[in-house]
A and B are shown apart, each in its own frame.
Chain A
Amino acid sequence: MKTLYLAATLALATAGNGIAWASAPAAAPSSQAELTVTFEQIEIPEGQILLSLYDNEAAHDANGKPVRGAMAKVEGQAVSVRFEGLAPGRYAIKAFHDVDGDGKMKTNPFGMPLEPFAFSNNARPEGGPARWKGASFDVPAGASETRIAIQ
């Protein structure tokens, strides 16, 4: 089973890497979407949450390039991140709580993840990151919110 867990780790360890952090378009036309992602049930009020936002199944399930990434400093039991200027459509999120703040998923010597992680819809891991089928959700035009328990 090790290979599968390793794959899970790699996917999570790169969450939020290699993409532009800023997500503020000049003006948001009314046809655009604004998504607030709230992480809750955080057990350790330290470090940061790194997350990747995907807009298609292929990139999501193949651990490919996310459409956006973000980082949120953790100071309590919940924290929110807002994405603006999104095209309305279907999205999914992979996130991990970088408790020690080193920017990486902490792993054991065989690469298994040791920091809390979570997926949109609170989709459950099944020996690897949750799949698009279970984690994706609709983001309509205008403002919307999704909540993710990360523990």
Chain B
Amino acid sequence: MNRRDLLIGGGLAALGTLVPATARAAAAVARPDWTLGVTDILDDIAPRSLQRIHGRAPDLAGTLYRNGPARFRRGDSASGHWFDGDGLVRAWQLRGNEARLAARFVDTPKRRLEEKLGRIVQPGFGTLQQPGAIVGSSDDTNAANTHVIKAGNRLLALWEAGSATALDPASLETQGQVTFRDDLKHMPFLAHPRIEPDGRIWNIGSGGAAVYVWRLSKHGAFEAGEAVKLPMASYIHDFTATARHLVILCQPWIAGAMKLPFSKSLTWQPELGSKVLVLDKDDLSKASVFDLPPLSFFHLGDAWEEKDGTIRFDGCFHKDVTFAVEGAPGLVEGRYVHVERPELNLVALHPDGRATLTPAGITAEFPRSAPELAGLPRSATVHVGGYTGDRPFARSVGSWDWVKGRHDSFDFGARHLVEEFVPAGQHHLIGTTLNLDAKATELHLFDARRIADGPVASWRSDVALPLSFHGSWVTA
């Protein structure tokens, strides 16, 4: 950490009461430019047209819905972690060459309370609760800020430790937290459901040493649910699935006695290694467990099963939890801890009970693949990458081919913060970047077969939106 980081980050916070306000304002001006990626949005973004700045779009019509935290500070108070800001759902609407943007905050109990108080009070993943907090259930702290999918005729804004929140796909107006069945109110519903090509939705909710397995119809209606015991009480952000199996990777970041914020309840225990629980979708009592070395992760790619029974899936693996525990909270403070090095790996679970890891040799996050191949054999993994260590966040988008060992990627350069890209139709990728020079968020469309050629078309908005996490392309 250099002197500037020290001044801007922890040092300043510690000295805050001793430094005159004018000096603090001067220091605030010196915040690194990437902190635009964790800036605050105060109000909903009214629908507006985007300016096309490059290329011509193919015949593609639909909406890229994205979700991510967009309010971290109120008055003198602030979220203690990047994961705890209020969810802002953005709709990037594309019709030929015309693109539009609208965005609305998810109207959660947490946001309503904090708007009223003018302070951040509710506890979160890495945020301590403050006087005035009201926590009758986990959903009182639900930031609805991690992912958004379309299920039936509504959007679901997803979080991790509580309910999905339904929104109107056209107006983005919040309809309310979803209770799939009366006795399942407040049950956790992870932000990473696995959706089969025909639309059926599988998800899990994490509860320490157990998970609740959700099965929803393609219309988003509850079909079945069941609690399943885990090999260990791992922190779970994501899981994956083949056509026939649920695959739950358990990392040695273990939930113990409850402490606040929640992240303090977790301890990194690498001596336990990692375990993979594989469940039969048709009979959740049919389970097998595989062993892997200790690894830390947030995101996995879709899994598939090969003819000989081998199950494969990719993941973006960290060596330990430094990024989650120290890196991500520092981002909100404008402080960068040099630990964001997620490495793309392919996990193979062999029929003889062995599990192996194959590194691609690149840094990558936010792995996505074609929705029509979810759970089926595939070779390509779309991802962002180019983590350099001189600043946080990705700067490139790419596709890694596991069969050819080939990487096709485009580097937006040091002046763009790159967000997740997702497949749009058969041949395209769509995603957003935050342009630090223009101080504006941009929408980019790529030919998925020629990513290195750069975007086929790009549009620029007139707002700088803080970085979002995940989203879905919904064809018009």
A residues at B contact (CB < 8 Å): 1-5, 7, 106, 108-110, 112-114, 117, 124-127
The distance in angstroms between the C-alpha atoms of A124 and B129, with both chains bound, is 13
Q: Give 27 A-B contacts (CB < 8 Å), ordered by A residue.
A: A1-B123, A1-B258, A1-B262, A2-B188, A2-B208, A3-B265, A4-B260, A5-B137, A108-B183, A108-B184, A109-B187, A110-B205, A110-B207, A110-B227, A112-B138, A112-B186, A112-B187, A114-B182, A114-B185, A114-B186, A125-B136, A126-B133, A126-B134, A127-B123, A127-B129, A127-B135, A127-B260
The distance in angstroms between the C-alpha atoms of A106 and B225, with both chains bound, is 18
Which residue from chain B places its CB closest to the CB of A106 in the assembled complex? B183
Closest 9 CB pairs of A and B: A3-B258, A127-B135, A110-B207, A4-B258, A125-B136, A124-B134, A112-B186, A2-B207, A108-B187
Docked-complex contact B188 and A110, CB < 8 angstroms = yes
Which residue from chain B places its CB closest to the CB of A125 in the assembled complex? B136
Which residue from chain B places its CB closest to the CB of A108 in the assembled complex? B187
Scan residues 339-377 of chain B and give those whose CB is less than 8 A from a CB of chain A.
none
B227 cross-chain contacts in A, Cβ below 8 A: 109-110
Docked-complex contact A109 and B208, CB < 8 angstroms = no
B206 cross-chain contacts in A, Cβ below 8 A: 2
Which residue from chain B places its CB closest to the CB of A124 in the assembled complex? B134
Given contacts A114-B183, A124-B133, A127-B133, list 20 more A-B pairs with CB under 8 A.
Answer: A1-B258, A2-B188, A2-B208, A3-B257, A5-B137, A5-B138, A7-B258, A106-B183, A109-B184, A109-B207, A110-B187, A110-B188, A110-B212, A112-B185, A112-B186, A112-B187, A117-B136, A125-B134, A125-B136, A126-B133
The distance in angstroms between the C-alpha atoms of A113 and B140, with both chains bound, is 13
B207 cross-chain contacts in A, Cβ below 8 A: 2, 109-110
Range for the number of chain B residues in contact with chain A: 20 to 34
The distance in angstroms between the C-alpha atoms of A109 and B161, with both chains bound, is 14
The distance in angstroms between the C-alpha atoms of A88 and B161, with both chains bound, is 43
Residues 171-212 of chain B: 1 if any A CB is under 8 Å from the residue's CB, otherwise 0? 000000000001111111000000000000000011110101
A125 cross-chain contacts in B, Cβ below 8 A: 134-136
B182 cross-chain contacts in A, Cβ below 8 A: 114
The distance in angstroms between the C-alpha atoms of A106 and B138, with both chains bound, is 16
CB distance from B143 to the nearest CB of A (A): 13
Given contacts A1-B262, A4-B258, contact A109 B137 (CB under 8 A): no
The distance in angstroms between the C-alpha atoms of A2 and B258, with both chains bound, is 8
The distance in angstroms between the C-alpha atoms of A1 and B135, with both chains bound, is 10
Scan residues 87-138 of chain B and give those whose CB is less than 8 A from a CB of chain A.
123, 129, 133-138
Given contacts A106-B183, A108-B185, contact A126 B129 (CB under 8 A): yes
CB distance from A10 to the nearest CB of B (A): 13
The distance in angstroms between the C-alpha atoms of A64 and B433, with both chains bound, is 55
B161 cross-chain contacts in A, Cβ below 8 A: 1-2
CB distance from A38 to the nearest CB of B (A): 21
Which residue from chain A places its CB closest to the CB of B257 in the assembled complex? A3
- B240: CB under 8 A from chain A? no
- B468: CB under 8 A from chain A? no
A5 cross-chain contacts in B, Cβ below 8 A: 137-138
- B141: CB under 8 A from chain A? yes
User: Which residue of A2, A108, A109, A126 is within 8 Å of B135 (Cβ)?
Assistant: A126
Given contacts A106-B183, A108-B183, contact A113 B134 (CB under 8 A): no
The distance in angstroms between the C-alpha atoms of A7 and B227, with both chains bound, is 19
The distance in angstroms between the C-alpha atoms of A58 and B61, with both chains bound, is 63
Which residue from chain A places its CB closest to the CB of B181 in the assembled complex? A108
A113 cross-chain contacts in B, Cβ below 8 A: 137
The distance in angstroms between the C-alpha atoms of A2 and B262, with both chains bound, is 9
The distance in angstroms between the C-alpha atoms of A151 and B346, with both chains bound, is 50
The distance in angstroms between the C-alpha atoms of A108 and B205, with both chains bound, is 12
The distance in angstroms between the C-alpha atoms of A109 and B133, with both chains bound, is 25
CB distance from A40 to the nearest CB of B (A): 18
The distance in angstroms between the C-alpha atoms of A7 and B185, with both chains bound, is 17
Which residue from chain A places its CB closest to the CB of B132 in the assembled complex? A124
Docked-complex contact B212 and A109, CB < 8 angstroms = yes
The distance in angstroms between the C-alpha atoms of A106 and B227, with both chains bound, is 17
A2 cross-chain contacts in B, Cβ below 8 A: 138, 161, 188, 206-208, 255, 258
B210 cross-chain contacts in A, Cβ below 8 A: 110
The distance in angstroms between the C-alpha atoms of A134 and B118, with both chains bound, is 22
A110 cross-chain contacts in B, Cβ below 8 A: 187-188, 205, 207, 210, 212, 227
The distance in angstroms between the C-alpha atoms of A138 and B37, with both chains bound, is 51
The distance in angstroms between the C-alpha atoms of A117 and B265, with both chains bound, is 26
CB distance from A55 to the nearest CB of B (A): 25
B186 cross-chain contacts in A, Cβ below 8 A: 108, 112, 114
The distance in angstroms between the C-alpha atoms of A5 and B187, with both chains bound, is 11
CB distance from B215 to the nearest CB of A (A): 14
The distance in angstroms between the C-alpha atoms of A126 and B182, with both chains bound, is 23
Residues 154-184 of chain B: 1 if any A CB is under 8 Å from the residue's CB, otherwise 0? 0000000100000000000000000000111
B187 cross-chain contacts in A, Cβ below 8 A: 108-110, 112
The distance in angstroms between the C-alpha atoms of A114 and B186, with both chains bound, is 8
The distance in angstroms between the C-alpha atoms of A117 and B137, with both chains bound, is 11
B188 cross-chain contacts in A, Cβ below 8 A: 2, 110
CB distance from B54 to the nearest CB of A (A): 45
- Output the residue of A108, A113, A124 with the most chain B CB within 10 A: A108
B185 cross-chain contacts in A, Cβ below 8 A: 108, 112, 114
B134 cross-chain contacts in A, Cβ below 8 A: 124-126
A106 cross-chain contacts in B, Cβ below 8 A: 183
CB distance from B255 to the nearest CB of A (A): 8
Docked-complex contact B137 and A112, CB < 8 angstroms = yes
B262 cross-chain contacts in A, Cβ below 8 A: 1
A124 cross-chain contacts in B, Cβ below 8 A: 133-134, 136
